[in-house]
């Protein structure tokens, strides 16, 4: 078992959704980054780990859960049971720079960047 370290948001989601608040096995190999998880899993054919969908590459493959494939569409629909949403928060209705930034991120060009960076676009 390859796991993110306990300070990771990815670890927190895994602990909540899969482990139901239990801790990862003490025998798990803790990694400081998702990239390190990918590298460790790709070097050991018997290893299993968890990463964000944006870290999938040819060296590792996603696990189908209850017949649901890990892909952008299923993550966006909420049907892939291990997917987690990420949010942006503001204190009230954003204006000025924050408002322009959020409009950009939600727009076509921003969503292209979101996809390029390995996150699931909202459209």
**pLDDT tens, N- to C-terminus, the chain (123 residues):** 999 998 998 899 899 888 998 888 999 999 999 999 999 999 999 999 999 888 999 999 999 999 999 999 999 999 999 888 889 999 999 999 999 999 999 999 999 999 999 899 997
Domains in the chain, CATH or no CATH each? 2-77 (3.40.190.10), 86-123 (no CATH)
60 closest CA partner among 31, 87, 40: 40
Residue 30: which residues within 8 A CB-CB, separation 6 or more? 3, 4, 5, 6, 24
| 114 in Cβ contact with 75 (< 8 Å) | no
51 closest CA partner among 67, 36, 73, 69: 36
Q: What is the pLDDT of residue 91?
A: 94
DSSP state of 117: T
Q: What is the pLDDT of residue 84?
A: 87
Q: What is the pLDDT of residue 46?
A: 96
């Amino acid at each position: 078992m390859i796991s993110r370290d306990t300070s990771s948001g990815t670890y927190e989601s895994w602990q909540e959704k899969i482990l139901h608040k239990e801790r990862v096995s003490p025998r798990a190999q803790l990694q400081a980054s998702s990239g390190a998880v990918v590298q460790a899993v790709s070097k050991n054919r018997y290893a299993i780990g968890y990463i964000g969908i944006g870290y999938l590459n040819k060296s590792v493959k996603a696990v189908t859960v209850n017949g649901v494939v890990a892909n952008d569409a299923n993550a966006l629909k909420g049907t892939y049971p291990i997917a987690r949403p990420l949010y942006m928060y503001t204190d009230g209705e954003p204006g000025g720079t924050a408002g322009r930034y959020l409009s950009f991120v939600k727009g076509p060009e921003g969503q292209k960047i979101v996809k390029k960076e390995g996150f699931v676009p909202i459209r």
